[in-house]
Amino acid sequence: MSAKTTHRFTATFSPVSNTGVLLWLQKHQVIIIGGIVSYMMLILLIGAPLWTPPHIILMGIAGLSAVTIKGRSLIQLAAIRLGFALRSVTGQTRWTLNPLSQDEIVGLIDLPGAAGQRLKPLEVVNTQFKGASFLYDKENSQATAILRCMGKPFVFTSTDTQDERARQFSHMLSQLSEYPDIVRLTIQSRSLMTPFHVEIADNNEFAADEIRDMVAENMRVIMSHDMIISLTVSQDKAKNLVKNYGGGVAGISGLLKDRLIPLVNMLEQAGIDSQAGIVWENTAQIRAMMKLMSDATAYGTINERLELDDDVPVASNYREYMDYVHVGDTYARTLWVDKWPSDPATVGFLHQLTSVRDAQIVFTQAFKPKPENKARRALNARKDELERIKRLNKNMGRNDDPRLILEDDEVDKRLTELVVHKAEVDFQGFVTILAPSKLLLDETTRNIITSMTFMHFDRMHGQQYAAWVSALPLGQAGR
């Protein structure tokens, strides 16, 4: 066996950080605890009674504020639950809306918003290039181009080829991070029903029932696996380039073209099948991808160009629950990957998840490029806090938490790699499960969690409305 095959390309994952701006405390925790402690010191100085009910409550708040779970304080976790309760009370967990409606100028994608914000509109803008559109978030001055493509065969390729694709993918992220106007890259591996068309005579309910039974019995055969790659750029960070292209829609279109050209050129080496086509989606295709996720009969209404005709609505009703959402005909639950493999992972360790053939799944990864100077500053600050925690443990006679040691080693490794790659990439992973019933949704969720034992999933209680937005093929994950 050659040395090349015995030393495979691997990757390690940093655990959820246990550090903050001061030891493990985040900024809001430091402010709350610091304010309460300062108040208590003032009470002692002026000689006022200390052990009064209000003061005891404040001490309890300070104590609870110091607790951190999976990188989040109890205050943040409580805020999530309170936010869901507020949305429930004010009717924000139910919507009946058209996610994509068109007027004379642009389309509008209405996404469910947070409490107090009923809808968040994204403009769908036709570019100056024929057959291509982009999504424009006017609030943040960000534009997103959506590409649809297919991956190359993986299972039966050599390990050398698989490793080389991983190296090229890492190189691609490093190259993209050199553009300050690139906000994020979102990659979605989707296992959904393959669109097909069958002519059914009017009012022939028997034939319609037969088609539905055939779909249910042959899901393994008619499932398709595509990839959605979304690139988001900031108009404010590329004002000169946008101006050079004429400003406005033309300027943003030119900016996206400039950033998509190197991305598309690198995708072939990273495992994307360019022979199958890399398509910059238009408005009709975006509509089709959205409808396919929430309409059980959408596979029969999308044409051979994977477009949804203008006279077919994408209307949906939403209902949010604590750990899932009901969108149109679909029950959906999104899991956040809060723990990746602790041991070095070889290429393809997610194949079991991305190639499933008996369930509809959208696996979303959001990458945020970080320039070398910002990455080094963040890693050094994290290293300093880890050292403070280790010194504190030593002074108190305690052993270091194994998670702390693992995180310390990972930070050292990333600082070393930063010398070579000149950039860092923050990323998140989400798994969205789609099912026609709540019972099947729960069953599929259990199967995924038990089969992917080397990873841990958070059920995102009270956050499913935001998770559904991340699962849509709109490049909004990790916002």
Instruction: Tell me the two tokens of residue 77.
Output: 């976790």
- What digits encode the pLDDT tens for the residues 337-360? 888 876 677 777 787 777 766 788
Q: Do 133 and 282 form a contact (C-beta atoms < 8 A)?
A: yes
The DSSP line for 240-261 is: HHHHHTTSHHHHHHHHHHHHHH
Give long-range contacts, CB 8 A cutoff, 24+ apart: 18-22: 18/68, 18/71, 18/389, 18/401, 18/403, 18/404, 18/407, 19/382, 19/385, 19/386, 19/389, 19/407, 20/68, 20/385, 21/385, 22/385
User: What is the rounded CA–CA span in Å between residue 244 and residue 255?
Assistant: 9
**φ/ψ bin of 16: left (φ > 0), alpha (ψ from -120 to 50), beta (otherwise):** beta
Partners of residue 379 on adjacent β-strands = none
Which residue bears the tokens 């690198």? 266
Instruction: Tell me the two tokens of residue 325.
Output: 């959402």
Low-confidence ranges of the chain (pLDDT < 70): 1-24, 69-71, 87, 90-120, 193-223, 299, 315-316, 342-343, 356-357, 479
Predicted pLDDT of residue 147: 93
Contacts of 389 (CB under 8 A, 6+ apart): 18, 19, 23, 24, 400, 404
User: What is the rounded CA–CA span in Å between residue 160 and residue 203?
Assistant: 56
User: For the chain, how far is it from start to end, CA to CA, in angstroms?
Assistant: 45
User: What is the rounded CA–CA span in Å between residue 450 and residue 443?
Assistant: 11
Which residue bears the tokens 């959402």? 325
Q: Do 145 and 231 form a contact (C-beta atoms < 8 A)?
A: yes
Contacts of 444 (CB under 8 A, 6+ apart): 359, 433, 435
